[in-house]
Amino acid sequence: MQDRIVWLPFALKLCIIEMLGSKCEPSLFNGCKIHVLQNGIGPTRFQILRRTAITHGGVITSSPSTDVEILVAEEGHAGELKLREAYESCSANVTAVSTRWITDCINQSRLLDTLPYQIPGFDSQNPERKQPVPSERAGVPGHTEPPAKRPRAGADRAAPLEPPPCLREQLDAPRP
């Protein structure tokens, strides 16, 4: 009998991952302070991502803050402004990753490096981080130039020197 590829809606896949998640380490995201940005994510998927992270030891914040270590967002231009605002509200060492990072960690039952999941232009080594360029309306508070265009896929980008603090110990720990 030939193997068949089964196509399921993403929310259903996340539900299955969540149910199978009991096989994962309950402390997979142990103590990681995570903020899931809803922009571009449907409400069901948003709730499942948050619940999955909490189930596996993550600490979910209700809003971006300096405590956040991992900022999870959907990649795409539609939510880039909201992502930029959230990113600027977080600490200088925050890592912005795509939603796939959470689901892939659960699927593989281990904590994965964030580097392949980082959203281009939103890494802690970005030299333009928290340095808005004044616009022509320089006297008007809150007005800055729009963010620079994102690099094209495959373009070189600076890699962070270290993983976020909440992941450092778990990534260095020996695997069974």
User: Helices 43-55 and 100-108 meet at what angle, rounded to 10?
Assistant: 50
Residue 154, pLDDT > 80, answer: no
- Sheet with 95-98, side-by-side order of all strands: 59-60, 33-36, 70-73, 95-98
pTM: 0.62
The residue written with tokens 């993550």 in the block is: 58
Instruction: Read off the pLDDT of each residue in 135-142 and give the average, rounded to a whole number.
Output: 39
Q: What is the mean pLDDT of the chain?
A: 72
Span of 15-24, 97-106, 110-119, 141-150 with lowest mean pLDDT: 141-150
pLDDT at 152 over 90: no
Listed in sequence order, the DSSP H helices in 65-164 are: 80-89, 100-108
- The per-residue pLDDT for 59 is 92
Q: Is the pLDDT of residue 8 over 60?
A: no
CA pair distance 85, 28, nearest whole angstrom: 28
Which helix or strand (DSSP H or E) is residue 71 part of? Answer: strand 70-73
Topology (CATH level 3) of domain 10-120+158-172: Rossmann fold (3.40.50)
Say if residue 87's pLDDT is above 50. Answer: yes
